[in-house]
């Protein structure tokens, strides 16, 4: 097959990376380009339509050109895989671009995924180190984060379970998360219409005809939930400021660890997540990663596709902030729970874009 130089060079680089991952113990796997749309839509919501190509098949319904390999690889592992397991794959992914016409709509990804619950900190460090080693010699800057710390902090708030669930649901939507936190913290009053509804002698008096699938009982149940929320004390200003402090973290890993240990004095619920970060830092150091200069950002990974729930990382081309990251990855335990129908497997992985590696080396 005749291919433009750039693509041939990217494939050659993909093969080099795949060999690197195989040497690290990964089994090569493949995935279909056409994926059933409903699984991806249920996971990511309607927003995925803006980022993935949707097409239709008369028999199979809506299909998507794979926007990444994670979902098919997890499904393959959950249905047939041994445990523990390591996989690698290489192939095109497809991303719709509605905003920037200069961004590529298809490019190669090479991935390395680890399904191993024995020692999550070691598995996190392994993925980061194996991917970094594959790119050694390139002028890259690493950024890391840990969504698990923010989630642990939210779970540890002294407030209602309903509020915690609402905040956890919006971890990956920073604006809505912020708006909820402000309201639950009493910094922003409840909307006047809600106050009026709860003060009404009969809140259902103004209800229109019973139409639609969302029934009267569901409306009444939500009014009850709103009453409980209105009766609950606001989240304390101290706790809100602790969440703010976690989100504002931006330092090297050792500095962040020291700050988080202070935060854990006031918010003991983050203790085990901080220990996890500490163990990961040790595991990274043991693999030769310079953790003393490794950057950590409290908000890192919150706007990625919605599945990372622990360690997150990105490798960026130094001095080229306009370019997308050359590699990204993270832990996605919750995704395996959703796709596994109740069965969960701790999982962490990452991908490299070989096309960017080639252009960085000046090969294309």
Examine residue 252 and say whether the peptide bond preceding it is cis (omega within 30 degrees of 0). Answer: no
Look up residue 65 and give its two tokens. 């050109």
Contact status: 42 vs another protein (CB under 8 A): yes
Contact status: 323 vs another protein (CB under 8 A): no
* Residue found by looking up tokens 């009053």 in the block: 189
Contact status: 210 vs another protein (CB under 8 A): yes
Burial 12-32 (b: 16+ CB within 10 A, else e): ebbeebbebbeebebeebebe
For residue 297, the minimal CB distance to another protein (Å) is 21
For residue 267, the minimal CB distance to another protein (Å) is 25
A 10 A CB-CB count for 161 gives 8
- Write the CA distances from 352 to 218, 242, 305, 326, 331, integer angstroms: 46, 34, 16, 6, 16
- Of 182 and 282, the one with the shorter C-beta distance to another protein is 182
Of 27, 221, 230, 232, the residue at the interface with another protein (CB under 8 A) is: 221
Contacts of 224 (CB under 8 A, 6+ apart): none
Contact status: 212 vs another protein (CB under 8 A): yes
Look up residue 213 and give its two tokens. 């699938």
- The DSSP 8-state label assigned to residue 168 in this structure reads H
Of 27, 207, 230, 286, the residue at the interface with another protein (CB under 8 A) is: 207
Of 1, 2, 4, 46, the residue at the interface with another protein (CB under 8 A) is: 46
Mapping DSSP to helix (H, G, I), strand (E, B) and coil, where does residue 344 land?
A: coil
148 exposure class (CB count in 10 Å sphere: 0-12, 13-18, 19+): buried
Q: Which of residues 181-200 bind another protein (CB under 8 A)?
A: 191, 193-194, 197
Contact status: 213 vs another protein (CB under 8 A): yes
Of 82, 98, 136, 265, the residue at the interface with another protein (CB under 8 A) is: 98
62 exposure class (CB count in 10 Å sphere: 0-12, 13-18, 19+): middle
- The DSSP 8-state label assigned to residue 347 in this structure reads E
- Of 83 and 106, the one with the shorter C-beta distance to another protein is 106
Of 16, 103, 169, 187, the residue at the interface with another protein (CB under 8 A) is: 169
Pattern 50-69, another protein, x by CB under 8 A:
x-------------------
- Of 13 and 306, the one with the shorter C-beta distance to another protein is 306
Please give the radius of gyration of the chain, using alpha carbons only, rounded to the nearest integer. 23
- Of 112 and 177, the one with the shorter C-beta distance to another protein is 177
Contact status: 161 vs another protein (CB under 8 A): no
The stretch near another protein (CB under 8 A) out of 13-21, 149-157, 163-171, 291-299 is 163-171
Of 187, 222, 320, 361, the residue at the interface with another protein (CB under 8 A) is: 222
64 exposure class (CB count in 10 Å sphere: 0-12, 13-18, 19+): buried
Q: What ranges make up the beta strands (E) of 66-105? A: 85-94
- What values do phi and psi take at 67, rounded to 5? -80, -20
Contact status: 119 vs another protein (CB under 8 A): no
Q: In whole angstroms, what is the distance from residue 131 CA to residue 29 CA? A: 18
The stretch near another protein (CB under 8 A) out of 10-18, 125-133, 166-174, 295-303 is 166-174
- Of 195 and 248, the one with the shorter C-beta distance to another protein is 195
The stretch near another protein (CB under 8 A) out of 13-21, 220-228, 320-328, 355-363 is 220-228
Of residues 63, 56, 62, the one with CA closest to residue 35: 63
> How many positions of this chain bind another protein (CB under 8 A)?
41
The stretch near another protein (CB under 8 A) out of 44-52, 68-76, 77-85, 331-339 is 44-52
Binding site for another protein (CB under 8 A): 41-42, 45-47, 49-50, 98-99, 101, 166, 169-170, 173, 175-177, 179, 191, 193-194, 197, 203-204, 206-214, 216, 218-219, 221-223, 225-226
């Amino acid at each position: 097959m005749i291919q433009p130089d750039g693509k041939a060079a990217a494939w050659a680089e993909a093969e080099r990376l795949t060999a690197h991952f195989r040497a690290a113990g990964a089994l090569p796997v493949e995935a279909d380009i056409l994926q059933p749309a409903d699984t991806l839509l249920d996971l990511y919501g309607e927003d995925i339509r803006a980022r993935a190509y949707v097409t239709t098949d008369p028999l199979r319904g809506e299909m998507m050109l794979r926007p990444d390999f994670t979902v098919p690889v997890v499904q393959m592992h959950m249905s047939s895989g041994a445990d523990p397991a390591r996989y690698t794959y290489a192939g095109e992914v497809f991303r719709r671009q509605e905003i920037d016409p200069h961004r590529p709509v298809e490019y190669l990804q090479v991935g390395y995924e680890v399904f191993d619950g024995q020692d999550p900190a070691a598995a996190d460090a392994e993925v980061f180190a194996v991917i970094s080693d594959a790119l050694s010699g390139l002028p890259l800057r690493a950024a890391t984060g840990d969504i698990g710390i923010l989630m642990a902090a939210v779970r540890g708030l002294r407030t209602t379970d309903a509020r915690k669930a609402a905040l956890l649901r919006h971890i990956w939507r920073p604006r809505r998360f912020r708006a909820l936190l402000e309201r639950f913290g009493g910094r922003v009053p409840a909307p006047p219409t809600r106050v009026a509804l709860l003060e009404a002698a009969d809140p259902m008096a103004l209800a229109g005809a019973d139409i639609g699938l969302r029934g009267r009982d569901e409306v009444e149940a939500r009014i009850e939930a709103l009453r409980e929320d209105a009766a609950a004390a606001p989240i304390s200003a101290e706790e809100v400021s602790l969440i703010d402090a976690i989100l504002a973290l931006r330092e090297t890993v050792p500095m962040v660890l020291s700050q988080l240990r202070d935060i854990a004095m006031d918010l003991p619920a983050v203790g085990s997540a901080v220990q996890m970060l500490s163990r990961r830092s040790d595991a990274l150091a043991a693999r030769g990663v310079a953790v003393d200069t490794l950057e950590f950002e409290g908000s890192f990974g919150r706007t990625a596709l919605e599945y990372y729930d622990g360690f997150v990382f990105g490798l960026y081309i130094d001095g080229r902030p306009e370019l997308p990251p050359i590699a990204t990855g993270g832990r996605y335990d919750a995704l395996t729970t959703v796709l596994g129908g109740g069965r969960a497997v701790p999982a962490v992985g990452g991908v490299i874009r070989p096309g960017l590696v080639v252009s960085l080396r000046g090969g294309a």
